[in-house]
Amino acid sequence: MVVLDGRKTSNEIKEEIAKEVSEIVESGKRSPHLAAVLVGDDGASLTYVNSKVKSCEKIGFKSTLIKLPADVAESELLDRIEELNQDDELDGFIVQLPLPEHINEQNVINAVSPDKDVDGFHPTNVGKMVLNLPTFLPATPKGIMELLNRYNVDISGKNVVVMGRSHIVGSPISILMARKTTPGNATVTLTHSRTKNMKEFTKNADVIVIALGIAEYLTGDMVKDGVVVIDVGITRVADSSKKSGFKLLGDVNFEEVSKKASFITPVPGGVGPMTIASLLMNTLQAYKERK
């Protein structure tokens, strides 16, 4: 069994980007610039955004964090997004999700310029992804594909089961894995909350990508020997023995499933770091296209 170490792989990617950024700056050009918009004070979102900012600093990107109150009007948020769209010194930006209930997330996603949409959520970029045209791929699915590529995990012709159909992970990863690329060329089944007899699908899967947000949902009796497991889920569970007061669990019962798996991602330290690395890769791509 091989643990797909997202933290190690992410650091390797950051080192590669840092070297390229150093060469850019030494040539007299400005460094790539990424901005993040955070609405409200959700703890998990704040932690995630801060990690993005730190990653930018580490590799030589310029980073900007825009914090807005939880009760900010949707119109004001859209105005700020338009300012970022028009900023010639900014290459890409993200609006951290989820947003407060009074704000329509799709309106916000649609407002981001496709050319600066380094999260890969804008309908224009999603459409290009479906048509296999050059575009910004959603960060988490892109990170998963990069991790499989760097560990030489062959999914061609394999039976892949994706658990969860979100626009952020499940739906796009099912498209990417089926595309005529390397890694890719898999036969993909997309399952979800209405899927009956889930175990019948997972027991026959060569590869499982699970993004349900249900702690330790996938157990050892649901998979076959040699399965490749990508765990996207992360849930905070109270744990008084931890200094933080909680522990992080994935959607996979790691202890049970790892005994059968050929490759598996840990939580934390698997897909999460790769998502940030992919965001940085997309930002560098945006910088090059703008130049």
Q: Is residue 291's pLDDT more than 80?
A: no
CB atoms within 10 A of CB 7: 15
Candidates 226, 129, 215; CA nearest to 172 is 129
pLDDT bucket at 47, cuts 50 / 70 / 90: confident
Strand ranges (E), 164-282: 187-191, 207-210, 228-231, 235-238, 246-249, 263-264
pLDDT bucket at 42, cuts 50 / 70 / 90: confident
DSSP H or E run through 203: helix 198-203
Which of 14, 52, 116, 142 is an active site residue?
52
Q: Where are the domains of the chain?
A: 28-113, 139-272
Burial class (CB in 10 A: 0-12, 13-18, 19+), 136: buried
Q: Is residue 242's pLDDT more than 80?
A: yes
**Topology alike, domains 28-113 and 139-272:** yes
**DSSP-derived 3-state class of residue 33:** strand
pLDDT tens-place string over residues 84-116? 999 999 999 999 999 999 999 999 999 999 999
Average pLDDT over residues 173-190: 97
Which of 5, 14, 91, 96 is an active site residue?
96
CA–CA dist 190, 165 (Å, integer): 7
- 139-272 topology per CATH: Rossmann fold (3.40.50)
Which of 5, 117, 119, 206 is an active site residue?
119
Beta pairing partners, 159: 187
Buried b / exposed e across 227-254, counting CB within 10 Å, b at 16+? bbbbbbbbbeeeeeeeeeeeebbbbbbb
pLDDT bucket at 286, cuts 50 / 70 / 90: very high
**pTM here?**
0.95
Determine whether 96 is an active site residue: yes
Average pLDDT over residues 149-169: 97
Task: Assess if CATH 3.40.50.10860 describes domain 28-113.
Answer: yes
Cα dist. 39→46, 81, 110, 236, 268 in Å? 9, 12, 17, 21, 25
Specify the pLDDT at position 280. Answer: 97
Q: Is residue 243's pLDDT more than 90?
A: no
Per-residue tokens: 237: 């569970």
Determine whether 247 is an active site residue: no
pLDDT bucket at 45, cuts 50 / 70 / 90: confident
Q: Which of 42-46, 212-216, 242-246 has the highest mean pLDDT?
A: 212-216
pLDDT tens-place string over residues 164-178? 999 999 999 999 999
CA–CA dist 136, 123 (Å, integer): 11
Cα dist. 228→140, 204, 209 in Å? 17, 12, 8
